[in-house]
Amino acid sequence: MEKDQMERTQVYLPRGLKRGLSRLAAKKHSNVSALLREAGESLLEREKQALERDDQAFKKALDNVAGIWADRDPKEFEATRKSFDRKFPGWND
């Protein structure tokens, strides 16, 4: 990463965490800032993957319910929908 693309920030860390990061940075011939960037990038990637898994699960759930009313009478669907409207007013506004 180019230095001109970075922004300076200040982070308060618990003393033990700061000491541990400093020791690890020394062992890796690095610095605390690089370790924090690496940790941040790793966190963002994990969260991105988790969101993608959630999206896939949601789409799969939609696929599983798609067409469940296909073989039923449309009047039955309308009655169920109206019942839902009475129980949860404003749900589809």
Q: Does residue 93 lie within any of the structural domains?
A: no
Q: What is the pLDDT averaged over residues 12-17?
A: 98
The token pair at 77 is 């669907």
Let me know if residue 28 belongs to a domain.
yes
Give domain status of residue 16, yes or no. Answer: yes
Residue found by looking up tokens 């922004």 in the block: 7
Answer whether residue 37 is part of any domain. Answer: yes
Q: Which of 80, 52, 58, 57 is nearest to 68 (CA)?
A: 80
Choose between 84 and 25: higher pLDDT: 25
Q: Domain tally for the chain?
A: 1
The beta strand positions in the chain, using DSSP E, are none
pTM of this prediction exceeds 0.85: no
Task: Give the amino acid at 22.
Answer: S
pLDDT band at 8 (very low <50, low <70, confident <90, very high): very high
Confidence of residue 70 (pLDDT cuts 50, 70, 90): confident
User: 76: part of which helix (H) or strand (E)?
Assistant: helix 74-87
Position 2 in a domain: no
pLDDT of residue 62: 80
Residue 58: give the domain boundaries.
11-87
